[in-house]
Amino acid sequence: MLQRSPIRIIIFVVILTCLAAFFHFYNLNWGAPFYFHPDERNIASSVSQLNFPKQMNPHFFAYGSLAIYTIYFTGLFINMIGHFFTPLPLSLNPTFEQAIIISRLYSALFATLLVPLLFSLGKKLKNDSVGVLAAFFATTSTGFMQFAHFGTFEMWLTFFTTVLLGLSLVYKDKKTDLALLLLGVVSGILVSIKISHLAIIPIILFVIFFQELYHHRDKHHLYKTARTLRGFFLFFIITFVIYCTTNPFVFIDPQAFRDSMKYESGVVLGTLPVFYTGEFFHTIPVLFQFLHIYPFLINPVLMMAFIPAFCSLIFTIIKYRHISFLLLASYFLLLFFSQAFFFAKWTRYMIPTLPFVYLIIAVIFSDVIVSKAKQSLTRLPRCLLLLAMIIVIFVNILFTFSYFVTAFWESDTRIAASTFAKQTIPPEAPILSEVYDLGITPFNNSFSTMHLFQFYDLDNNSVEATPDILQAYLKRSDYIILPSQRILKTRLQNPTQFPKGNAFYHALLSGKLGYKKIYESPCDIFCKITYLGNPTFSFEETANVFDRPTVMIFKKED
């Protein structure tokens, strides 16, 4: 495919891939030695307690075991190589810190590979211009850059789902047993990374059915039925075998798996109240994603362009019965709607939809800018289209650079705040802070009197978190440190759900509690661009609470 492309296009895609690699691999050790992301820590804890072949139970089933085992054996291999050159006295098993870095390396690798992959898919869907545009959008993707730096499995899911689209297009055009085998293998990998990706299976079944129905029209219906059933059977067998072999403890320790699934589903559906889903009360599905998630992941201009682009794609599918475009739209719709209506609407749920968003926009942009601009448009409309394209390109570059500087070039906001605190607050000063926030860890070694109050339970009638107990803490504390905006944001935005918490944070910010704010994480022009002027309230909280939270420090006034 690439050999038939003009050399300048190949060079351009290579440049984009190298630029993406820089964005994705730069500062992969961010947050060290604290490693603030809780999901990363859960994964790394699971990896670091493995010991082949004695102990291979991950004791962690929120994700599948395939990626966990891959990280473990990668670390084991690296340590074996290191031991060969420099004998190590310790175990060859990867440490917690190694597991963090290796998981981030895989995320960065998959994010970078998406650039040439999207170029290839764009070209297959239509032409070179679609591929180049999609590759450019992937290179300048805030969402890809962010999750390339997270040692979680969203980039794994995103990469292999995109590969699955490519295989679906290949199988649709030319049925082969190899293509069917690869469809089963990649589907098995996806389900083995996260079982919720079973939602993508209906598309594969449609592709198998479509291939037999439309490419064997001259055959008897019994023949086509038999061939279709054979395809379904082989696909399911391959997918199931891969899942079973890479997730053995689902069957060896079924109770732990069921307990984990029950907990995770309860959290996601909102039937199990937990402290970290407080922001999702009274949120409207679909609207929430388009107002508070996509503007961060793909920038507001590209998000606004996506809506008419998707409508145009649907029109094309209906008018011309374009099956390849139907597959593209179906992948997006299944990935989006399988997550959009959950109670928990975290940013990470939308990451696997991004390649399809970029391809849809690229298809329509290419059609409007390249094809129609060369046909019947007069000079003025042609100039307006060109101007619109320039604006989109400029905005993508601006938001990408701004996020890169804000999150990974500048100092970590928690470490910067701890440095300020060490220079300003006496070591023995009594300090009040919040629980369940790893952002407080840089402060711990510098201050001897640190009290963590359960602010999450202030509205839950907890005997350990009453207003009276809080008032006692406030009387004997000289400083208050908020390691992130996580509790403050949810309490201020949901006064009916959290009346006591809302009253506390309003009083704290207004000075009514007798405390004055002496520090807040600075937000320069790049920060304001990235978070649309407000890093605390603009987006769903996990858009920046892990990599660039807002830290506030308050001092009791005399």
Q: Give residue-wise pLDDT tens across range 71-104.
A: 999 999 999 988 887 776 567 899 999 999 999 9
Beta strands 479-482 and 515-520, pairing class: unpaired
| Residue 281 to residue 494: CA distance in whole angstroms | 8
Q: pLDDT tens for residues 306-359? A: 999 999 999 999 998 899 999 999 999 999 999 999 999 999 999 999 999 999
205-214, 297-306, 516-525, 531-540: least confidently modelled range: 205-214
Cα separation of the two ends of the chain: 72
Q: CA-CA distance, 68 to 50, in Å (whole number)?
A: 10
The predicted structure's pLDDT at residue 215: 59
Instruction: Sort strands 515-520 and 431-434 into parallel, antiparallel or unpaired.
Output: unpaired
Q: How far apart are CA 203 and CA 76, in angstroms?
A: 37
Buried b or exposed e, range 435-463, using 16+ CB within 10 angstroms = eebbbbbbbeeebeebeebbbbbbbeeee
Mean pLDDT to the nearest integer, 259-281: 94
Q: How many CB atoms lie within 10 A of CB 379?
A: 7
% of the chain residues with pLDDT over 90: 83
Of the two residues 364 and 96, the one the predictor is more confident about is: 96
Question: Is residue 417 a contact partner of residue 464, using CB atoms and an 8 Å limit?
Answer: no
Please state the rounded mean pLDDT for residues 155-182: 93
Query: Tokens representing 94?
Result: 């990867």
pLDDT of residue 374: 52
Task: For residue 481, list its beta bridge partners.
Answer: 433, 553
CA distance 236 to 27: 41
DSSP symbols for 196-248: GGGGGHHHHHHHHHHHHHHH-TTS-HHHHHHHHHHHHHHHHHHHHHHHHHH-T
Neighbour order of strands in the sheet with 515-520 = 450-453, 431-434, 479-482, 552-556, 515-520
| pLDDT surpassing 90 at residue 231 | no
pLDDT digits 0-9 by tens, 22-58: 999 999 999 999 999 999 999 999 999 999 999 999 9
- Average pLDDT on 119-128 reads 94
Which amino acid is located at 488 in the chain?
L
Q: Per mean pLDDT, which range of 3-7, 163-167, 550-554 is the poorest?
A: 3-7
- For 433, other C-beta atoms within 10 Å of its C-beta total 22
Contact yes or no for 243/192 (Cβ under 8 A): yes
Q: What is the pTM of this model?
A: 0.94
Enumerate the domain spans of the chain: 2-82+95-407, 413-556
Instruction: Identify the band that residue 161 occupies on the pLDDT scale cut at 50, 70 and 90.
Output: very high
Q: Confidence band (pLDDT; 50, 70, 90) for 429?
A: very high
Distance CA 208, CA 235 (A): 9
Residue 2 scores a pLDDT above 80:
no
The residue among 160, 128, 155, 130 whose CA lies nearest residue 143 is 155
